[in-house]
Structure 1
Amino acid sequence: MDGTPMLRVSEVKDLGVRLNAELSFRDHIIQCCKKAYRNLGFLLRTVGGFTNIRAITALYNALVRSQLESNAVVWAPHEAKYSLMLERVQNKFVRFLYMRLYGVYPFYPLMYPTLFVLGMVGYNEIRSRRELALVLYIFKIIRGKLFNADVLGQVSLRVPDRYVWRRRRPPLLALPQGRTNLLNKAPLARALGTLNVVAERIDLFCCTRSELTRVAMQGKVRLAEGSFAFKQATAGFARRAAPAHRACPPSLVNTIFTTT
């Protein structure tokens, strides 16, 4: 350009988000995990003598979880590989926090389920928080709190005729149809699918943000409770739980997600 050769780059960083030549956020997720692990290691070394649990959680939320959720509306992965990579950072902290609260390390040899440990320390999965942030973003656009004409133009309402209404109640929002899994798992499609589930219980055009958050998180909890992996993990926990450990009885496994 103007006699100056342009350099070929394989990665672009815009507002803290890395995008590679394949239009993938894989490198960004890996860098987020590396930085979060560094901050988590510094945190665990620093809070060794702390007795205030609120101070420990505040430091984690500020130094570590903020790295895992910054601009997550843009780069939130749908692949299980990268989602698990992000979850492992928080799982390491919640096991440490569980030991500080109850005096027992929940990993080996007890092998408590991760969802159980998260509920006992009052945390949610990072994946659920990312999906909630995405849903709230689309919700604000629909309600007119944010302006994004490109996204709003892709949100369509279903208007059924009388015959369709008599057969079944259709979803409120039309889901974009993609020919590949990448398009079907796009952020907009995931957010609209969650909003359709929430719209079955509350009115999206009259509810408050807190009501939407509560219903959306309850929906995520029900999906987790009904999964085969969760049932297998809780069953294994009930068999392996030590009788002498009374801080977390197995009976709480069935009710822990309704109280957090």
Structure 2
Amino acid sequence: MRIHRKKNPIIHSYNMKGDRLSAVSSQAYLGVEIHEKLSWKPHIAKYVTSKASQSLGFIRRNLAQCSTATKQLAYTTLVRSQLEYAGAIWDPYRQNQVDQLERVQRRAVRFISGNYNREDSVTAMREELGLPSLQKRRRHSRWVMVHKIIHGHVAIPLPDYTFNPGLALPEANNSTVSPD
């Protein structure tokens, strides 16, 4: 796989022990699809939303008569975990990709609450169930990852030119900085 952003990349052939290696445009690594142009579109469409929709369909077929609590537990365990796997890494910034992910949760919320009335607000149902948006959960996950990196809880070293947690931050006009 070649990582590039060019329309016409320079193509080299690579050999290993006399065998020519074939080029691929994307490759799955630890459950995350990495595309040669570093786009998350194939990962979100092919792996995340597709697999999560299949799992949601399984839950809908098999747990239709169960309680709301059972449906919600099945959703958070089997579907939301797929929608969030490694989300701190591939968190999309394009609205259409964010909407693709949220669409799966919106279908799940309607199933959990048993309310398919088009006039009723899915956002209100989601809040009533205590489910935050997936985008909000991914943002929280990113901040947790940054905290772990800064404090050395994960094996991702910080280069010398980045933030040093031992140094005090300069004050800016005696005002406080909000996290949002």
Please tell me the TM-score bracket, short chain as reference. Answer: 0.7 to 0.9
Q: Which residue of 2 aligns with 1:70?
A: 85
CA RMSD of aligned residues (A): 2.3
Cα deviation digits, residues 74-119 of structure 1 (max 9, x gap):
11101111001000000011112222xxxxx2542x242x322211
- Is the Cα–Cα contact under 8 Å of residues 160 and 170 in structure 1 kept in the other structure? no
Selected match of 1:119 from 100, 123, 127: 127
Aligned-partner SS, 2:64: helix
Aligned-partner SS, 1:13: strand
- Give % identity: 27
Cα deviation digits, residues 164-186 of structure 1 (max 9, x gap):
x4x45374xxxxxxxxxxxxxxx
Task: Mark the CA change 1:150 to 1:143 in structure 2 (over 3 Å): closer, same or farther.
Answer: closer
Structure that is richer in helix per residue: 1
- Is the Cα–Cα contact under 8 Å of residues 33 and 85 in structure 1 kept in the other structure? yes
- Is the Cα–Cα contact under 8 Å of residues 158 and 170 in structure 1 kept in the other structure? no
- Structure 1 position 139 matched with structure 2 position 147: yes
Unaligned residue ranges in structure 1 (runs of 5+)? 100-104, 172-196, 199-218, 220-260
Cα deviation digits, residues 165-210 of structure 1 (max 9, x gap):
4x45374xxxxxxxxxxxxxxxxxxxxxxxxx33xxxxxxxxxxxx
State the one-letter code of the partner of 1:150. Answer: L
| TM-score calculated relative to the size of structure 2 | 0.79
| TM-score calculated relative to the size of structure 1 | 0.56
Q: How does 1:49-68 map to 2 (within 5 A)?
A: 49-51=65-67, 53-68=68-83
Q: Which residue of 1 aligns with 2:11?
A: none
- Is the Cα–Cα contact under 8 Å of residues 141 and 148 in structure 1 kept in the other structure? yes
Displacement of 1:13: 1.2
Unaligned residue ranges in structure 2 (runs of 5+)? 1-14
CA distance in 2, matches of 1:135, 1:13: 25
- Is the Cα–Cα contact under 8 Å of residues 149 and 158 in structure 2 kept in the other structure? no
Q: How does 1:215-254 map to 2 (within 5 A)?
A: none
Matched residue count:
162
